[in-house]
Amino acid sequence: MKKTNPTLITLILGLLVLAGIWAYKKFTPAELHGTVVEAKPLIPELPLIDTAGKPHTLNQDAGIKLVFFGFTRCPDICPATMSILRRAYEGAGSPRNVKVYLISVDPETDTPAVLKRYVESFQKDFVGLTGNADNIARLANAFYVGFNENPDGLITHTDIVAVLDQQNRMRLIYNQEKLGKGLLDQDLPALAKGQL
C-alpha cells in the first residue's frame, strides 16, 4: 500500500482554500456606503433639454446614473460636488455604463450653452440638463429634492447625489458627508459592475 505524500495534501488543501477565498471575493457583492432607498421609486420620464438643445430624458440612457440637482451660479456646494463626481468617475476609469447628470434648478439662467460650458469644465462625459421649470420641479420631487430661490437671487437646494439602477429606480443616496469622505469614490467601481 502506497503512502500519501503529506506535502501534496497540504498543497492541494492550500489551493482549495485560495480558490474559496477568490470565489467569495468574486461573487460576494461589495458593501456599498450610500444610504439605501428602500422604496426604490421609479423615476418618471419627464422631458428636459440637454446641452445641445435637444429633448432628453433620464430614461433614454442605459446603465447606472448619478444624478445631482444644482445650478451654475452656485458658489460652493455645486462646484465641490461636481469635482467629487469627476474624481469618482475618473478614479473608476470613466466607465462607459455610468452617466453623471447635473440637472439645473435655475433654468432661466442655465441655458443649454451656459450649462454645456459649466458641465464640460468638470468632465466632458457629464450630461447637463435644463428645461421647463415645471418638469424640473416634478423631477426634483421624484428624487425627494427641494429647492427655493432666496431674495438675494441664489437658490438653496437639497445637495445629495442619487444613484439610479438600469431600470431607473432610485437605489442609493450619497449626502455631502459621505461624498466628502470619498465613499462614492470607493463604491463607483462596484456600481459600474451593476452591484446594486
Q: Is the pLDDT of residue 28 over 50?
A: no
Domain residues for the domain of 39 are 35-192
Distance from C-alpha of 108 to C-alpha of 133, rounded to nearest angstrom:
8
Is 5 part of a structural domain of the chain?
no
Is 3 part of a structural domain of the chain?
no
Q: Is the pLDDT of residue 20 over 90?
A: no
Is 152 part of a structural domain of the chain?
yes
Round the average pLDDT of the chain to a whole number and report it.
90
Question: Of the given ranges (11-20, 55-64, 155-164), which has the lowest mean pLDDT?
Answer: 11-20
How many alpha carbons fall within 13 Å on the CB side of residue 58?
32
Is 177 part of a structural domain of the chain?
yes
155-180 mean pLDDT: 96
- The angle formed by the CA atoms of residues 33, 64 and 178, to the nearest 5 degrees, is 25
What is the number of structural domains in the chain? 1
Segments of the chain assigned E as strands: 35-36, 48-50, 55-56, 64-70, 98-104, 127-130, 147-149, 155-157, 161-164, 170-174
Is 118 part of a structural domain of the chain?
yes
Q: How confident is the model at residue 13 (pLDDT cuts 50, 70, 90)?
A: low
Question: Running DSSP on this structure, what letter comes out for residue 103?
Answer: E
Is 14 part of a structural domain of the chain?
no
pTM: 0.84
Is 20 part of a structural domain of the chain?
no
Is 13 part of a structural domain of the chain?
no
Q: Is the pLDDT of residue 192 over 50?
A: yes
Q: Is the pLDDT of residue 25 over 60?
A: no
Alpha carbon of residue 95 to chain centroid:
11
Distance from C-alpha of 164 to C-alpha of 173, rounded to nearest angstrom:
9
Domain with residue 63: its CATH number is 3.40.30.10
Which residue matches cell numbers 440612457?
61
pLDDT of residue 7: 73
Q: Which residues pair with 189 in a beta bridge?
A: none
